[in-house]
Amino acid sequence: MSTLSAGTPERRSFERITGPRRLACTAAILCVIGSALAAQGGFGQGGRGGGAPQGDPAAAPTPRLPNGKPDLTGSWAGGGWSFTGSGAPGATVGGMFRRCTPFQSKNCMEWTNQSEDWPFMSTARLDMRVPIYKPKHWDKMIEMDQWTNRDDPVMTCLPLGIPRQGPPARIFATDTDITMLYRAGVDGAGGYAEHRMIPIDGKPHDPRRAAQYTYFGYTVGKWEGDTLVLDSIGFSDETWLGRGGYFHSDQMHVVEKFTRTGNQLVYDVTVEDPEVLVEPWVMPTRTLRLAPTNTIIAERGSCTESEHKEVSTQYRH
């Protein structure tokens, strides 16, 4: 990876970025690096069932577990639309996730550009398929959107949580449980490698454990035919649904559905939050494909909050 040489215009430009702006730029640059490493690690293979063949992925045989249910084991890639901007049409421009506009100087670099193009790449603001908030929460959502450099959880090194983390990049499944690994850099503003381990025994939520709030929630799993259903409650209200001030309460309830047909995995998510949303938010379906090689996901990166209390200028990203 190239570095900025001392004395160059690009180096001097970067050194002038201080305080809250440096915090935002550093987070964004780390995400770019994480995304690049994830891409190099591969559009991975799926373990049992072999790699993805050419042609219609849904036409391939569907591997099954000893209990007869579809085996979701594998590395999964693609999915197209993303509420947080990543993977959305127009999100990746100029070879990276943001671009320099005609109104900026010729010395503008995509690595450090943090201003002009964010509204254009953030599908969370432009798409019509967004969660609908109760009127009493509109002012709060707008304020948090305008102060994303201060209020977005990624600025304080918190996990993205679900559904903002998106679908898993790699899955290991057994008859009784499932392990899901998530790649870093899935959101233009942050996100680190994460994991979940979930029992698949059909048991309901334990009311006592439901009160132990976590970033990814308390999840139980069951099969409905050939579809795996993950039901999550007990969320910390510190995470967001996506960039743009889309917050949620600790009463959020998320249902994820995974349906494998051949080398294709369909991912559906429904979010309920009676405290803040007018109606359940049904996210657009994402279709993943089994990748030809195994995805290798590095450990979670290091993140340290700094100068957060000194933020005094709005920076909508």
Mind listing the pLDDT tens digit of every residue in the chain (317 residues)? Answer: 444 444 444 334 333 444 444 444 444 444 444 444 343 333 333 445 445 455 899 999 999 999 999 999 999 997 644 444 333 333 333 344 455 556 566 666 655 555 444 444 455 665 667 899 999 999 999 999 888 888 989 888 899 999 999 999 999 999 999 999 999 887 754 788 999 999 999 999 999 888 899 999 999 999 999 999 999 999 999 999 988 899 999 999 999 999 999 999 999 999 999 999 999 999 989 999 999 999 999 888 788 887 778 888 876 66
The whole-number pLDDT of residue 82 equals 46
Residue 10 structure tokens: 């690009």
The whole-number pLDDT of residue 146 equals 86
pTM for the model: 0.74
Residue 41 structure tokens: 């690690």
Euclidean distance between CA atoms 113 and 282, whole angstroms:
33
What number of other Cβ atoms are within 10 A of residue 139's Cβ? 9
Its sign, for the CA torsion 243, 284, 166, 196, is positive
The whole-number pLDDT of residue 41 equals 37
Strands 177-182 and 194-199: antiparallel
DSSP state letter for 302: P
Strands 253-261 and 264-272: antiparallel
* CB distance 83 to 242 below 8 Å: yes
Euclidean distance between CA atoms 198 and 280, whole angstroms:
24
Residue 240 structure tokens: 């967001």
C-alpha triplet 182, 197, 231: angle, nearest 5°: 95
In the chain, domain spans: 44-80+129-293
275 Cβ partners below 8 Å, 6+ apart?
Answer: 249, 251
Q: Which of 293, 286, 50, 32 is nearest to 168 (CA)?
A: 286
The whole-number pLDDT of residue 103 equals 59
Alpha-carbon distances, residue 235 vs 138, 188, 189, 238 (angstroms): 21, 23, 21, 9
Residue 221 structure tokens: 């799993």
Euclidean distance between CA atoms 141 and 311, whole angstroms:
19
Euclidean distance between CA atoms 169 and 166, whole angstroms:
9
